[in-house]
A and B are shown apart, each in its own frame.
Chain A
């Protein structure tokens, strides 16, 4: 069955406008986002989203697969990320080394990323590179080779990546420990790059099975943004992708992380110069309306030089060199985390106290109107900034498809931020930032 959602005539595809209106922003104006896309799902289940936009003579061609570390199991951790690497190592038409060779020699650039929830690939190239991208990407979706020789050498590459990001990185190791301690059941507990022993053990059979399960067209979304003709592009996509068969959908992730019943604490002892602490709290899944209030909280607490904890810890007490908080949106419930690096000779306890005091204060008293309006304005403006590049627009569409099942949620985001109330912010602080829901990892520097 072929589904077509508005087969719209396309002009300026992504429209960001400021319009006068009843908005809480100080200047009384609001930002609206309109994405004029042509969407079609092929018979094999591949969802295609085309956003024509002739402002720059380039295209960004992106393929998002609904697979990440979240879909792994013990013994093969890191395989999602490893498959991302193997996708550049040869298929039927374009053999080993040829993907990059052909693309780069034609003025294109390609990269990819793997997260817990998704694996995404993109090519950025001049306008007339569209058919080349279609050819390259349909080839590897159809017929990835998984050459044993390349499996061995690519795994060595990934092990170096692990040594770089985790084993020889103080912050990398702390983060790995924090996730492992905060989760006891859900697959968010292991690092996207995988455990070293699993990297040693993953074999070709594991890869073949993983590819079959997750790299099916019905598990993917194809987004093309930029300077091209929608009709011609859709015709070409049919030509190259239609014969790739749909496959049985993979088993859904079933494990639900049980409620945390008390604070968990851990320490990392290793050579380091400065004390540091990471603190995290379990948060709700993407479907919860609370995610917008939590984004607002993230800005109020550590977003910029006007944030509460920056002012407290970096400016007022001078205990910390830097303070950050992150709240990445994920499919399943994940974490709101703080990362604080201390000045030499200062205790991490001082940072913990300041964080807890700020959280209790907000849970009890809410935030200042000025803080709320500032956070919303920063979130809105940053949202616009993230849509400046053709690549950024395509990537946002892919992420929203994976997270919300519908890219059109993008258009609602500015409004959702504007709608956040002080009560919601206070409610979210009260609900999630309790000591029993907390996990803390401190770094104990060794000389």
Chain B
């Protein structure tokens, strides 16, 4: 519980000898097979034998970024309903069958894509693929299930308002990115969900849940030949190509000279949530590795600058971090922290100072080298399990990151220079023109917020 989720060890002078670590062993994906089926479905099969389990992951470019104005939440709802009845098998029949063999089957939408995952004991791989194919290709979207799911989504939206951290994350993205669809919660807004009809869902599924553009990875203790045969059998009859107009407008930067401050007033809070950020770049940026390192220096690990200044030196918070949201059509940069109401301004000022510093001063060689080693050292832990590998396979394909991405990861991180870090920080970590979102007891913190920027106050009651 100490820790949640990187600074300056001003020349961490450590006397005596420190045991040497090189951490240079190669990291690569296990051998895999890939092919494209006649219907356009891209398939990867990876044999691993560590545990008697098989993971299957199907990615479909049907994320919430395709939800137009007024139909926010449609992609999310469609994904949620897949398991609620398909091919004549009811929701209870599907869950009893899957759980009956200790399996797992889930479906959800993110911003760029929808994902359906299965995790089964090796002996049940056929059963798993059978369910996976059925729920994706033949969902029934029963009216009763649709109404039930709607009421759950509406209750969940209310539930987010009880959790200051989740609420801050949701509202920060909305305020920062909307009207671009990336700013909408995947599950939409209560107003748009209420208006949604079953026909909307059926229509979305018909046009978006097609094999063209979809990626399937099957990873685990399974014979590759057998897996290929099963996949052909279960998915061979699936037809369709994505609509011609499926691209989404790019999320453009919106240069601003002045800072915007948006306060959400929630009078019962004794601790204020803070988010600071700006629109940045998408997943395909050539600056990906520089950004990864710059973000890690600023707010990655336990020795990041934000953690050091906010938590370690001042005891202002339990957590302080920065992060990059990188999607297909754009992305954003954000700082995340929280503190007791009395130290709200101090914490914001320290965070802003650190964003300025990484923009204005070159990162020292020692700090930079440490950070590169940190990122490289932890990389193998991201490729440990069947589901890690399945996620890499589908993401590498969807974002066109190249087959050598994993193998070259460490050398690319190792090549990041202090000039590169400063360049991307200046370009993508905004300062004067950024957005600050605060959730706080405004009556208590009003005076502290003076002079921070153009301020707008919204009552929690006005939030949907």
Contacts and interface: CB of A to CB of B under 8 A. Distances in A.
Interface in B302-344: 302-303, 308, 311-319, 338-340
A101 B268 contact: no
Residue from B102, B104, B303 whose CB has the most chain A CB atoms within 10 Å: B102
Contact of B21 (A94, A124, A125, A343): A125
Contact of B52 (A17, A85, A341): A17
Contacts, number: 261
Contact of B50 (A55, A271, A321): A55
A304 interface: yes
Nearest to B103: A381
A378 to B, nearest CB: 5
Interface in B283-316: 301-303, 308, 311-316
B50 A104 contact: no
A384 B25 contact: no
Given A132-B18, A270-B268, A343-B155, A104 B370 contact: yes
15 contacts: A85-B2, A104-B370, A106-B373, A125-B21, A129-B21, A129-B377, A132-B19, A153-B314, A155-B315, A160-B339, A168-B164, A305-B92, A384-B51, A385-B119, A389-B384
A127 B312 CA distance: 29
A27 interface: yes
B301 A100 contact: yes
Nearest to B383: A56
B419 interface: no
A145 interface: no
Which size bracket describes the interface of B in this complex?
Answer: 35 or more
A179 to B, nearest CB: 16
Nearest to B268: A271
A95 to B, nearest CB: 8
A100 B51 CA distance: 33
A208 interface: no
A152 B315 contact: yes
Contacts of A416: none
Interface string A99-127: 01110111111111110000000001111
A107 B373 contact: yes
A18 interface: yes
A129 B21 CA distance: 5
A170 B162 CA distance: 7
Contacts of A26: 100-101
A104 B374 contact: yes
Interface of B: 1-3, 6-7, 9, 12, 14-16, 18-23, 25, 27, 50-53, 83, 91-92, 95-96, 98-104, 119, 121-124, 148, 151-152, 154-156, 158-159, 161-165, 266, 268-271, 301-303, 308, 311-319, 338-340, 369-371, 373-378, 380-381, 384-386
B271 A164 contact: yes
A305 B99 contact: yes
A356 B9 CA distance: 57
A352 to B, nearest CB: 19
B51 A160 contact: no
A191 to B, nearest CB: 11
B312 A107 contact: no
Contacts of A387: 51
A221 interface: no
Contacts of A390: 384
Contacts of B266: 271
A318 interface: yes
Contact of B271 (A85, A106, A168): A168
Contacts of A127: 25
A160 B2 contact: no
B22 A128 contact: yes
A164 B318 contact: yes
Interface in A127-151: 127-129, 131-132, 134-135
A111 B301 CA distance: 11
Contacts of A365: none
